[in-house]
Structure formats: C-alpha cells, structure tokens
Structure 1
Amino acid sequence: MGLKEEFEEHAEKIKTLTQSPSNEDLLVLYGLYKQATVGPVNTSRPGMFNMRDRAKWDAWKAVEAKSKDEAMSDYITKVKQLLEEAAAAA
C-alpha cells in the first residue's frame, strides 16, 4: 500500500473513534491533513474574532515547512496513536 492510500485509509479510520479527540489533537490532525492535501497555507489569517478558524489556520501554518509526504506520514502516526489510546481506554 502506498503512502497516499494509507493516508486516506487513516483519514477514514479516525472517524470511527467513539470519543472525540482533544481540541489540541484535532488541531494537529487538521493542520497535517491540510498540509498533506493542499500544501502550504494559501489563505490569509482569519480575524481575531473568528477564534475557531484562526486556531485551525495557525495549526496549518505550524506545519507549513513539511512536505506533503511528511505531513501524510505524521498524520498516519497521529491517527494510530489516537486509535491506540482509545483502545487502551476501552
């Protein structure tokens, strides 16, 4: 299985979690997903009154230096970690 296929598989697996990850974990996943699928940030930073979108933008900007492959690999690792934590807590 190639990296892209494994990435897409884990993007689906994360949806199977019964308990939502922390906001911090969700932001990490969001940033890595956007970097892997879109590439470097291509929009301006949302205004300070739009806290949710601003946090998402910041999470994406934080991983902007990663290549798409690095972002995919890191995303897969993070999903595996969250799935293992969920299994251990069950």
Structure 2
Amino acid sequence: MRVKYGYSYQDTEDMWEAMGVTRSRGFGMEVKRRIMLGTYALSSGYYDAFYLKAQKVRTLIRNDFDSVFQQVDALIAPTSPVVVFGNMEMGRMTL
C-alpha cells in the first residue's frame, strides 16, 4: 500500500502496521481529536444522542432552504462574519 500524498510510513510490507504508524506520526493532535470524537459519537450507545439528532437537524435546515427557494431564485448573504478592512486599517496591521 502506498500513500501518494502527505506523510506515509514505508518501512514495512504490512498494510496495517503502515496505516497505524502513518496515522500516529502523520496526524496532528486536532485531527486525532476529531477522529476520536467522531468515533465516540457514532458508537452504538451514543448513535441516537448525537448522530440521529444531527441528521434530524440537517433535515430541518434542508426543508427550510427548500421552502425559501420555492419563493426566490437566489440568496444574497455576507461571505464573512466581519466587515472588510478599510485602506487605512490595512496599513496599520502587523503580523
């Protein structure tokens, strides 16, 4: 098994070992945290509490959008939660 992008452990012929080492060394803490949270949320004891509720909310949101688009052809909305920088403000910014 060869991974063609990102970090890939290649010093073994065992696919499972390569996958385990690649994931432990190549994934950052945030990625590992998200994998663990996803695994937890989808585990049998928590399926109804998390995943099923999220699916229901997604359906409600989808229904709202479908309802709105029966009345209009497009929505105009901000693409950013903050106001754009003014010319003078941009010059004062530092990294």
TM-score range, shorter chain: 0.3 to 0.5
TM-score, structure 2 as length reference: 0.31
Larger Rg: 2
Q: 1 or 2 for the larger relative contact order (CA 8 Å, sep ≥6)?
A: 1
Q: Which of the pair is proportionally richer in helix?
A: 1
